[in-house]
């Protein structure tokens, strides 16, 4: 394929991902369409190996193991949130599966899948292709730092949410989470387990209200709380 066409299709996929993020404030249906467009443009960019590049080349066994990993991660995070609530004197209303929460859960499932494809598998392969002298370990670290810094920029830009500051401990925690996510992708060659980790975290993070003295914490404040900066 002509290089400019490939780059155009990848740019379209990135635009679809950004649109998907903004769609959280519109409707879950648009987020599903956004993910479909990402996959469509990646297929146009790499007709023969788009699934491999997207990290979607996994079999039924890996999918079932991913579901099992999701259950384990949800249990771990539930325990961690309970400990944070006790130590920080913040009230955390852990998410309950209910019909009214279903659209948010679907969006989280779609959003984390898209992020694992774009910021996980695709970006990892891009770094490895462009910097072939780098080891897999360094590639995972570089992509993890980008992952952490993107959160900092997102919350400090004020483009969607009111401008806020992430504590350095939050940046460190997000970067370490990115390293773990990337290692899972590199080790297994697909996003199934990284997706399970990301979905489990985001499900609690964005759907469990946190209250301090009766006032709901913002997203950035939640990150600061969960990564140890309780008084920030």
pLDDT, tens only, 197-221 = 999 999 888 888 888 888 888 888 9
Q: In 3D, which of 21, 9, 14 has the Cα closest to residue 157?
A: 21
pLDDT over 70, % of the chain: 86
Comparing 45 with 21, the larger pLDDT belongs to 45
Comparing 134 with 71, the larger pLDDT belongs to 71
Residue 194 pLDDT: 96
Residue 215 pLDDT: 87
Looking at the DSSP bridge assignments, the partners of residue 216 are 211
What are the tens digits of pLDDT across the range 41-99? 889 888 988 999 999 998 889 999 999 999 999 999 989 988 888 888 888 887 655 55
Mean pLDDT of all residues in 136-149? 91
Residue 68 pLDDT: 94
Q: 232 pLDDT band (50/70/90 cuts)?
A: very low
Q: Answer yes or no: is pLDDT of 231 > 60.
A: no
- Average pLDDT over the chain reads 84
Q: 187 pLDDT band (50/70/90 cuts)?
A: very high
- C-alpha–C-alpha distance, residues 124 and 106, integer Å: 26
Residue 116 pLDDT: 93
Q: In 3D, which of 112, 123, 3, 109 has the Cα closest to residue 53?
A: 123
In a 10 Å sphere around its CB, with 0-12 CB exposed, 13-18 middle and 19+ buried, how is residue 201 labelled?
buried
Q: Answer yes or no: is pLDDT of 188 > 90.
A: yes
- C-alpha–C-alpha distance, residues 132 and 136, integer Å: 9
- Quote the pTM value: 0.88
Residue 137 pLDDT: 87
pLDDT over 90, % of the chain: 34
- C-alpha–C-alpha distance, residues 139 and 122, integer Å: 12
Tokens of 121: 């598998």
The answer to whether the Cα torsion of 126, 40, 12, 3 is positive or negative is positive
H or E element: which one contains 32?
helix 28-45
Q: 107 pLDDT band (50/70/90 cuts)?
A: confident
Comparing 131 with 189, the larger pLDDT belongs to 189
Mean pLDDT of all residues in 170-195? 94
Residue 71 pLDDT: 92
């Amino acid at each position: 394929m002509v290089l400019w066409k490939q780059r155009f299709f990848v740019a379209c996929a990135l635009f679809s991902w950004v649109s998907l993020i903004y769609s959280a404030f519109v409707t879950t249906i648009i987020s599903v369409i956004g993910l479909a467009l990402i996959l469509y443009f990646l297929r146009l960019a790499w007709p023969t190996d788009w699934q491999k590049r997207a990290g979607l080349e996994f079999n039924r066994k890996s999918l079932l193991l991913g579901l099992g990993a999701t259950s384990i991660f949800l249990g771990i995070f539930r325990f961690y949130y309970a400990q944070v609530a006790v130590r920080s004197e913040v009230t955390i209303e852990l998410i309950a599966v209910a019909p009214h929460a279903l659209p948010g859960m679907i969006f989280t499932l779609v959003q984390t899948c898209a992020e694992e494809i774009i910021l996980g598998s695709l970006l990892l392969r891009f770094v490895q292709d462009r910097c072939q002298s780098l080891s897999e370990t360094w590639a995972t670290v570089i992509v993890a730092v980008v992952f952490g810094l993107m959160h900092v920029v997102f919350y400090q830009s004020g483009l969607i949410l009111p401008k806020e500051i992430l504590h350095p401990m939050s940046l460190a925690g997000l970067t370490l989470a990115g390293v773990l996510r990337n290692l899972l992708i590199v080790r297994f060659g697909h996003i199934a387990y990284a997706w399970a980790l990301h979905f489990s975290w985001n499900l609690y993070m964005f759907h469990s209200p946190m209250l301090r003295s009766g006032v709901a914490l913002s997203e950035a404040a939640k990150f600061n709380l969960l990564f140890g900066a309780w008084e920030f």
